[in-house]
Structure formats: structure tokens, C-alpha cells
Structure 1
């Protein structure tokens, strides 16, 4: 997936309240073309994290994405958990020893 010294974004769930699809510490690696490895939960929230990851790859500025899964409950959406989570997104550049920050993704 990665070429040596290629920049990617690493997204990590750092806080969760209520029912969320993944636990604190879950990670996702985002490739510059939008592909990803791992998941932070799927759906619209994950799409927001992927967009933020692409921005982080481009500008190098880490950010936290607030994912509110309570908003769609009134729409009776299937698979909506109803919790809130914060996902920290940072840039990682290959070429050194070791992998992305925090180890493996699932």
C-alpha cells in the first residue's frame, strides 16, 4: 500500500462517549488517494475522518475530528450507534524504522 517515504494520515479514536462502533485506540491509515486500511467505524463519520486525513497529508497540520453519531437517530437509520467520539488525525511519513504511530491497525 505504501511506497517508501510516502506520507499518510493516521487516525486514532482518542475519546468516546456512549455507544460507538469502535473502541478508544482503534486506528485507520489513510492513503493520499483516499484508500484506507482499518476503520474508525464506517459511515458518514468515517468519511469526515478520511477527508480530514487527506487535508492532514496535504498541509501537515494534525487535527481532531468530532464525530457525533447521535444526529441520525431521529431518522431511524440502521447501524447508527448513538454515541460521540473524537478522532485525532496526524501525518506520518515513511522511510524511518517502524510503522505508523501507535502500531497496527485492525
Structure 2
């Protein structure tokens, strides 16, 4: 099992899951590069808007997003779904952001690995 990060505009790898809340610009709904769309695991609209206004505060964004993923609800359920996908094979978490390293995806990878190690 491998967990990797990619831009949604790149050629897809095995087990690709789009983890952005918003659909990527310029992509059709049937684009084969998307794979599966699990928007429920993405940061809430409020947190995403806050981070867009404060891009220099990635550490605070990271902590707030981990707290969202830990709270009961749709995000935690979607994270549990990702855990099950990762248990059955490789997972590639895709985002439309230009710099995936400064997106929600590294935080999501951390949360996913944490859940996998405790399950």
C-alpha cells in the first residue's frame, strides 16, 4: 500500500481520489484523470476560505484541518472511507492546487497514515 500526492491535471496513478471540495476548473465531469471524487474529506468551506486569506499560516491551517478530520461527521466518515481504500491497495490523493505541498493533501496523508497505524 502506497499513499501518494498528485495534481489532478497529471496522468493518474493507481487508486486516484480527488480530495478537493470544489470541482477542478476546466475539467469535464467524465474526465478519466479524476478517478473517484471524495469532496466530503476536504476542509470545510470556512476553513478553505480562511486559508485562502491567510496563506502564510499553513501550520495553523494544518492544525485546524486535523481537528476537523477528528470531529464526528461527514469528514471523519470520508476519512474512514479513505482508510478502507488504502487497506485494499495504493491510493493517490489528487488536488487541483498548483502547489500540492501547501494544500490540504499533506495533512490528509498524515491523518490517513495515523488512522491506518491505529487500525
Structure with the higher helix share, 1 or 2: 2
TM-score, structure 2 length as denominator? Answer: 0.27
TM-score, structure 1 length as denominator? Answer: 0.29
